[in-house]
Amino acid sequence: MSIEIRMHDKGVRIITMNYPPVNALPVQGWFDVAAAMRDAGDDPDTRVVVLRAEGRGFNAGVDIKEMQRITGFSGLLGANRGCFQAFKAIYECPVPVISAVNGFCLGGGVGLVGNSDVIIAADDAYFGVPEVDRGALGAATHLARLVPHHMLRAMYFSARTVTAQRLHEFGSVDQVVPRADLDDVALAMAGQIAAKDTRVIRAAKEALNGIDPIDVNRSYRFEQGFTFELNLAGVADEHRDEFVASGRTLDT
């Protein structure tokens, strides 16, 4: 289980999440994504980042089973801080971040792609935030960057998912491609960006962040406060214990 980092070609850095069986990241995994993104931005030879995953799906959110093994609130605090740092590092990475999404992208996965600059998705990809089924909140900030407002509310309350093709129709997913072509298409897009003057692209990333209508860092932190309240009330533990007892590996 790891975050794998390699330089591909001409300033394209690939960051791969590999946490079998479903890429539900443990606490340290979120911090590792954040560190990988910060390192990418600090490297003057990096012009663009491709965030991808090995396995059945892109990301299944937080590792609930790990959280339930940890006594007290340290697991929750670690996951909250780790997710915040990972999402923030993607958003604030000085170079563009392309998410190449295969299969499921759930919970924290939506946080990752919602703060990315470009999303390329396989035709089997789907997205959702099932937090309410786990007695928690979060990533509505990032889902709001992918779907219209009332659809956001319907999806959030019902914990239903949306296909990559539907997001492509909204314009939030740039391209939907066959699964076998996902990496090649994402790298082709990365190559187009990397071919530009990186001084201009870095300035453009900062400028685009500067004109965003919502402060995504503050907005997500606000959401996390309600998650902690639900944990203090014991609601979240009830739902997470039920999930662990069910033997499922995917939070949907």
38-47: pLDDT as tens digits: 999 999 999 9
Total of domains in the chain = 1
**pLDDT tens track, the chain, 252 positions:** 799 999 998 999 999 999 999 999 999 999 999 999 999 999 999 999 999 999 999 999 999 889 888 888 888 899 999 999 999 999 999 999 999 999 999 999 999 999 999 999 999 999 999 999 988 899 999 999 999 999 999 999 999 999 999 999 999 999 999 999 999 999 999 999 999 999 999 999 999 999 999 999 999 999 999 998 998 888 987 888 888 888 777 765
189 in a structural domain? no
- Please return the burial class of 133, using the count of CB atoms within 10 Å of its CB with bins 0-12, 13-18 and 19+: middle
CATH of residue 19's domain is 3.90.226.10
Q: What is the pLDDT of residues 203-249, one digit of tens each?
A: 999 999 999 999 999 999 999 999 989 988 889 878 888 888 887 77
Instruction: Indicate the helix (H) or strand (E) that contains 155.
Output: helix 149-158
Residue 55 within any structural domain of the chain: yes
Q: Which residues contact residue 47 at a Cβ distance below 8 angstroms, ignoring those fewer than 6 apart?
A: 10, 11, 12, 95, 193, 194, 196, 198, 201
What is the pTM for the complete model shown? 0.95
Asked whether residue 226 is domain-assigned, the answer is: yes
For residue 119, give the 3-state DSSP assignment: strand
Phi, psi torsion values for 160, nearest 5 degrees = -85, 165
Q: Is residue 223 part of a domain?
A: yes
- Residues near 7 by Cβ (< 8 Å), separated by ≥ 6? 13, 14, 45, 46
Which of 103, 162, 100 has the alpha carbon at shortest distance from 130? Answer: 162
Distance CA 23, CA 149 (A): 28
Domain holding 218, by residue range, is 2-180+198-246
The answer to whether residues 194 and 48 touch, using CB atoms and an 8 Å cutoff, is yes
